[in-house]
Amino acid sequence: MKPTRKKAPKASAPLNIVAKQNEDRLRACFAENSQLLLPMLDLIQNTRTSIDELMYDAGRSLVEQLLVISATDVAGEKHPGRKGGEIRWHGSQRGQIVMDERKLNVERPRLRRRGGGEVPVPAYEQLNENPRLAERVHDIMVTGVSTRKYAEVLPEMAGTVGISKSSVSREFIQASQAALSELMARRFDERDFLAIYMDGIIVGTRHIIAAIGVDSTGEKHLMGLVSGSSENAQVVKDLLRGLIDRGLSTDLEYLFVIDGSKALRSAIEELFGERAHVQRCRTHKLRNVLERLPKECISQTAAIMKAAYKLPAKDGMAKLKTHAAWLQSDHPDASASLLEGLEETFTVNELGLTPALMRGLSTTNLIENPNGAVRRVAGRVKRYRDADMAVRWAAAGFLEAEKNFRKILGVSELWVLAAALKRPPSTTNIDHDRKVA
């Protein structure tokens, strides 16, 4: 018999590390992101192993927030200064929940009736009667599970632990709406933006257009989101006008990095005129050309295009025009695609940028990366009820991704772009040691 090979373990998802002692941060995390509690409803009564050391503190914070939601279902929201109804909040006290031979110390809410007498918190009672926590809580928190799976167990589990079916999802809607409102209220008066990426992504079946700006220190900032296709002229104008209303100056020159949308190009020209330098995404262009070619021509054309983009603008365009002429007879569609908008695929070359800056400012991959946080977060929902829901989830994904944005590639040379855009020398100190991408 041939020896069997062991399968290599799957790479685990990246973790956001929180110090074991930093319980306040954990509580805040789960309070602000109540959707993380959805797995808990699925997990109660379904575990076979005890919680491990890694998840002990995170598990406590999850349970404590779950208890707060359960208490809210019984007594209503807290209203400081008001007496409340028949059942009132009465502070909190220490408690314990036994989880497979382990005792989890938690801070649990206290509820009392108006005339006196303790009122139990249903989730606390049920968790103690059924002291089992899911063996895969860590995997679910990190990688996410489709909300469709939760829908199958929510009716039974929500009633079992005393939590209304809509409580957690309602809290997430409120939290995500607040995050979206905060995003769309960001001001740009004090930000010295040099480049603005604009591109569309699909969330479910909904089209979302995003704008991400790069300031003079190389930092990336999510500027805005709008529901609609980048081919919709009015939607694109609304997004750009919103940025202007929030302080983006129309008196300065910018580098706009966009896909091939004619509506997007037209809106930029209408609102910014000659102050806009437009770079067409080379990744989009390469894809559009290659998908019109037979397999035997793909590698050659890809190599020629990539090599041409490294040349000075005049030389690079000449090489691609020559190649387009060669393609014309047998592959006219690919030839036409290559020539369409050709000059704007060389804008970064025309501006005299360094190779590192050209690499970072010639594609919209930052927005459309299919393995990014936006698709990871938004992909947890299988069906979006409306455009607002899609924008909320897209905002949640982008805001999560923004936490890990690195400075733009070539940040130490960003002054070259600033000079090309006729900006005065920057007095801002750039942290050259920070990672870039």
Nearest to 121 by CA among 143, 90, 148, 98: 90
Fold of 190-420: Nucleotidyltransferase; domain 5 (3.30.420)
List the 103-113 sheet strands across, edge first. Answer: 87-98, 103-113, 118-119
The Cα 256–Cα 193 span in angstroms is 11
The terminus-to-terminus CA distance of the chain in angstroms comes to 48
Burial string for 36-61 (b: 16+ CB within 10 Å, else e) reads bbbbbbbbbbebeebbeeebebbbbb
Position 45 scores a pLDDT of 36
Position 135 scores a pLDDT of 33
Stretch(es) of the chain classified as CATH 3.30.420.40: 190-420
pLDDT digits (tens, 9 = 90+) for 79-88: 665 666 788 8
Helices and strands, counts by H and E, the chain: 19, 8
Position 77 scores a pLDDT of 80
pLDDT digits (tens, 9 = 90+) for 210-225: 899 999 999 999 898 8
- Supply 27's token pair: 């509580």
The CA angle 163-165-168, to the nearest 5 degrees, is: 75
Bridging pattern class, strands 254-258 and 193-203: parallel
- Supply 255's token pair: 């580098």
List the pLDDT tens digit at each of the 437 positions of the chain.
555 554 555 554 455 555 555 656 656 665 665 555 545 544 443 443 333 443 444 456 567 777 888 888 888 887 665 666 788 888 889 888 765 455 667 889 999 988 788 999 888 887 777 645 433 333 333 333 333 333 333 334 444 454 555 565 565 566 667 767 777 788 999 899 999 999 887 766 677 888 999 999 999 998 988 888 778 888 899 999 999 999 999 999 999 999 888 889 999 999 999 999 999 999 999 999 999 999 999 999 999 999 999 999 999 999 999 999 999 999 999 999 999 999 999 999 999 999 999 999 999 987 766 445 566 655 555 555 666 677 777 777 777 777 778 889 899 999 999 999 999 876 445 555 555 55
Nearest to 51 by CA among 284, 294, 61: 61
Whole-model pTM: value is 0.62
Cα dihedral 171, 173, 174, 178 sign: positive
- Supply 263's token pair: 């509506």
The continuous run of DSSP H or E covering 262 comes out as: helix 262-272
The Cα 253–Cα 422 span in angstroms is 7
Q: What is the DSSP code (8-state) at residue 420?
A: H
Spatial contact of 266 and 232, defined as CB atoms under 8 Å apart = no
